[in-house]
A and B are shown apart, each in its own frame.
Chain A
Amino acid sequence: DQQVKQNSPSLSVQEGRISILNCDYTNSMFDYFLWYKKYPAEGPTFLISISSIKDKNEDGRFTVFLNKSAKHLSLHIVPSQPGDSAVYFCAAKWGDSGGSNYKLTFGKGTLLTVNP
């Protein structure tokens, strides 16, 4: 039972255009969401996060949008650059207090290719 789903295994965009990576979740208890980027032969690198009390968080070219009613979040990269080509993982966790707030549940990732 996948609680975090990234339904697009791959996405290809042109350099300079917008990349939109999508993520859906089923567990309404999730209250904190993260995006990680992973290059081949490296570990995932933290990119950006958002708390469930917000619907948008921006960091430079990266913006994450959260739609709690739809249990959906998306990562926008504008403008896309060839160096952004990587696998992007969506992750979620829940529990501001108590024992479960360490546990990240990951999606299976989306391979983004930005063509020059």
Chain B
Amino acid sequence: DAGVIQSPRHEVTEMGQEVTLRCKPISGHNSLFWYRQTMMRGLELLIYFNNNVPIDDSGMPEDRFSAKMPNASFSTLKIQPSEPRDSAVYFCASSLGQGIGAQYFGPGTRLTVT
């Protein structure tokens, strides 16, 4: 079975540009999470969707960040405009049910904003 799929794996962009990260969760999973990993703060939850509905976006750093989940098999995380401090690895994870068991992570997108 395919795991969580993320694209692109690497993204290098200039400050001020729009960045869109994509995620395909594991088929049948109805919970989706976006995380950001930095050296300073470790792994932080940005936003959580359940059944395609955003439930908790309290971790989204500011209005420049937005996320959508138009259907059960696709989600995007958009940063507009991007800033150098957004440089990090962004992970998407999915799970079956809201609180059941573990979350399964994708390989991540390494974002560099120059």
Contact = CB atoms under 8 A, between A and B. Distances in A.
A103 B91 contact: no
A102 to B, nearest CB: 5
Contact of A46 (B48, B103, B107, B108): B103
Nearest to B10: A41
Given A103-B48, A106-B42, A43 B91 contact: yes
Main secondary structure of the interface of A (DSSP, over half): loop
Contacts of A95: 99
Main secondary structure of the interface of B (DSSP, over half): strand
B79 interface: no
B31 A102 contact: yes
- Counting contact residues on chain A (CB < 8 A from B), the size range is 20 to 34
A46 B43 contact: no
- Counting contact residues on chain B (CB < 8 A from A), the size range is 20 to 34
B56 A103 contact: yes
Contacts of B42: 106-109
Interface of A: 34, 36, 41-46, 49, 89, 93, 95-96, 99, 101-104, 106-109
Given A45-B105, A107-B42, 8 more contacts: A41-B107, A41-B108, A43-B105, A44-B105, A46-B102, A102-B33, A104-B45, A108-B42
Q: Which 6 A-B pairs have the closest CB atoms?
A: A101-B99, A43-B105, A46-B102, A106-B43, A108-B42, A44-B105
